Amino acid sequence: MKRSTQVAAPLLAAAALALTTGCRKPEMQRCVDENNRVVADKFCASQPNQPQQRPDGHGGFIFIPMLYHYYYGGWGGFGLGSAVGGGSLTPNPARSYINSSGRTLRGGFGRSFSEGGSHFSGHAGGAGE
Protein backbone atom coordinates (compact mmCIF):
# COMPACT_ATOMS: atom_id res chain seq x y z
CA MET A 1 0.00 0.00 0.00
CA LYS A 2 1.56 3.28 -1.08
CA ARG A 3 -1.15 5.74 -0.21
CA SER A 4 -3.37 6.62 2.67
CA THR A 5 -7.12 6.37 2.44
CA GLN A 6 -7.74 9.19 4.87
CA VAL A 7 -5.57 11.25 7.17
CA ALA A 8 -7.41 12.62 10.19
CA ALA A 9 -5.41 14.37 12.91
CA PRO A 10 -7.85 16.23 15.21
CA LEU A 11 -5.43 16.59 18.14
CA LEU A 12 -2.86 18.11 15.81
CA ALA A 13 -5.30 20.64 14.44
CA ALA A 14 -6.44 21.60 17.94
CA ALA A 15 -2.86 21.97 19.15
CA ALA A 16 -2.00 24.16 16.19
CA LEU A 17 -4.98 26.36 17.00
CA ALA A 18 -3.86 26.61 20.61
CA LEU A 19 -0.38 27.64 19.53
CA THR A 20 -1.63 30.32 17.19
CA THR A 21 -3.94 31.72 19.85
CA GLY A 22 -1.13 32.11 22.35
CA CYS A 23 -1.59 29.32 24.89
CA ARG A 24 1.55 29.18 27.01
CA LYS A 25 3.01 26.59 29.32
CA PRO A 26 3.72 27.18 33.01
CA GLU A 27 7.20 28.46 33.80
CA MET A 28 9.53 27.28 36.54
CA GLN A 29 9.61 28.73 40.03
CA ARG A 30 12.87 27.81 41.73
CA CYS A 31 14.51 28.70 44.97
CA VAL A 32 18.04 30.02 44.31
CA ASP A 33 20.91 31.34 46.38
CA GLU A 34 22.70 34.66 45.96
CA ASN A 35 24.68 33.18 43.05
CA ASN A 36 21.53 32.14 41.23
CA ARG A 37 22.18 28.47 41.92
CA VAL A 38 19.17 26.26 42.59
CA VAL A 39 18.68 25.16 46.20
CA ALA A 40 15.88 23.17 47.85
CA ASP A 41 12.55 24.98 48.08
CA LYS A 42 12.61 24.68 51.87
CA PHE A 43 15.23 27.46 52.09
CA CYS A 44 12.90 29.97 50.46
CA ALA A 45 9.84 28.68 52.28
CA SER A 46 11.47 29.36 55.66
CA GLN A 47 12.39 32.94 54.76
CA PRO A 48 10.25 36.04 55.11
CA ASN A 49 8.91 37.52 51.91
CA GLN A 50 10.59 40.89 52.37
CA PRO A 51 14.18 41.81 53.30
CA GLN A 52 14.53 42.12 57.09
CA GLN A 53 16.36 44.80 59.02
CA ARG A 54 17.80 45.07 62.48
CA PRO A 55 19.01 48.01 64.60
CA ASP A 56 22.64 48.90 64.02
CA GLY A 57 23.05 50.15 67.61
CA HIS A 58 23.51 53.77 66.46
CA GLY A 59 19.89 54.67 65.82
CA GLY A 60 19.81 53.26 62.35
CA PHE A 61 19.07 49.92 60.76
CA ILE A 62 21.04 47.30 58.88
CA PHE A 63 19.29 45.37 56.15
CA ILE A 64 19.79 41.65 56.47
CA PRO A 65 20.46 40.31 52.98
CA MET A 66 18.22 37.51 51.79
CA LEU A 67 20.35 34.51 51.08
CA TYR A 68 17.63 32.74 49.19
CA HIS A 69 14.80 33.90 46.96
CA TYR A 70 12.43 32.50 44.40
CA TYR A 71 13.39 32.85 40.76
CA TYR A 72 10.63 32.94 38.14
CA GLY A 73 10.92 31.63 34.57
CA GLY A 74 14.08 31.71 32.46
CA TRP A 75 16.41 28.93 31.47
CA GLY A 76 17.98 26.15 33.48
CA GLY A 77 16.21 23.40 35.35
CA PHE A 78 15.31 22.28 38.83
CA GLY A 79 18.55 20.45 39.46
CA LEU A 80 20.08 21.38 42.78
CA GLY A 81 23.23 23.43 42.27
CA SER A 82 22.46 24.19 38.64
CA ALA A 83 22.54 27.77 37.36
CA VAL A 84 19.51 29.74 36.28
CA GLY A 85 19.17 32.87 34.17
CA GLY A 86 16.93 34.84 31.87
CA GLY A 87 14.11 35.02 34.41
CA SER A 88 12.96 37.40 37.08
CA LEU A 89 12.83 37.82 40.86
CA THR A 90 9.19 38.74 40.65
CA PRO A 91 6.43 36.65 39.13
CA ASN A 92 4.57 37.88 36.06
CA PRO A 93 0.89 37.94 37.02
CA ALA A 94 -0.03 36.86 33.49
CA ARG A 95 1.92 33.61 33.77
CA SER A 96 1.60 30.46 35.85
CA TYR A 97 4.48 28.72 37.60
CA ILE A 98 5.40 25.22 38.74
CA ASN A 99 7.86 24.27 41.45
CA SER A 100 9.84 21.11 41.98
CA SER A 101 7.08 19.61 44.13
CA GLY A 102 9.01 18.52 47.15
CA ARG A 103 11.12 15.47 46.64
CA THR A 104 10.54 15.12 42.94
CA LEU A 105 13.16 16.94 40.93
CA ARG A 106 12.25 18.35 37.56
CA GLY A 107 14.24 19.91 34.75
CA GLY A 108 16.75 17.07 34.54
CA PHE A 109 16.04 16.65 30.85
CA GLY A 110 15.92 19.39 28.25
CA ARG A 111 18.79 21.62 29.23
CA SER A 112 21.07 20.82 26.28
CA PHE A 113 18.79 22.74 23.94
CA SER A 114 17.83 25.57 26.29
CA GLU A 115 19.40 29.00 26.20
CA GLY A 116 21.89 27.98 28.83
CA GLY A 117 22.78 24.71 27.13
CA SER A 118 25.61 24.66 24.67
CA HIS A 119 25.99 21.24 23.12
CA PHE A 120 23.13 20.92 20.71
CA SER A 121 21.02 22.97 18.37
CA GLY A 122 18.08 22.07 16.23
CA HIS A 123 15.66 23.41 13.66
CA ALA A 124 13.95 26.42 15.21
CA GLY A 125 15.45 25.52 18.58
CA GLY A 126 13.99 22.02 18.57
CA ALA A 127 15.54 18.68 19.33
CA GLY A 128 14.21 16.92 16.25
CA GLU A 129 16.07 16.78 12.96
Partner 1 sequence: MQRIPLTPREDWQQKVESAGLTFHTLENGDPYWDESAAYQFTATEIDTLEAAGKTLQQMCLAAAQHIIDEKRYAELDIPAEAIPAIEWAWNNEPPALYGRFDLSWAGAESGHAPKLLEYNADTPTSLLEAAVIQWRWLEEVGSHLPTHTSSRPEAGGRSGETPVSSSSAKPDQFNSIHEKLIAKWKDIDPFLSKPIYFAALDNPEDQLTVTYLRDTAEQAGLPTLQMYMEEIGWNDEQQAFLDPNEDHMFSIFKLYPWEAMLQEEFGPHAIDTYQSTRWIEPIWKMLLSNKGILPILWQLYPNHELLLPSFFEQPGAPCQAASSLTWGDSTPPNNLTSYVRKPLMSREGANITLVRDGVTIATTTGPYNGPQIDQALAPEAVFNERYPILGLWMIDQDCCGLGIRESSGPITDNLSSFVPHYFR
In DSSP notation, 16-36 reads HHHHHTT--PPEEEEEE-TTS
Beta bridge partners of 61: 55
Could you tell me the smallest distance in angstroms from the CB atom of residue 77 to partner 1? Answer: 6
By CB under 8 A, tell whether 96 contacts partner 1: no
Could you tell me the smallest distance in angstroms from the CB atom of residue 85 to partner 1? Answer: 15
Q: Check if the beta carbon of residue 28 is closer than 8 Å to that of residue 98.
A: yes
Closest of 80, 67, 84 to residue 39, by C-alpha: 80
By CB under 8 A, tell whether 16 contacts partner 1: yes
Positions in the binding site for partner 1 (CB under 8 A): 1-5, 7-13, 15-17, 19-20, 25, 28, 77, 79, 82, 98, 100-101, 103-114, 118-129
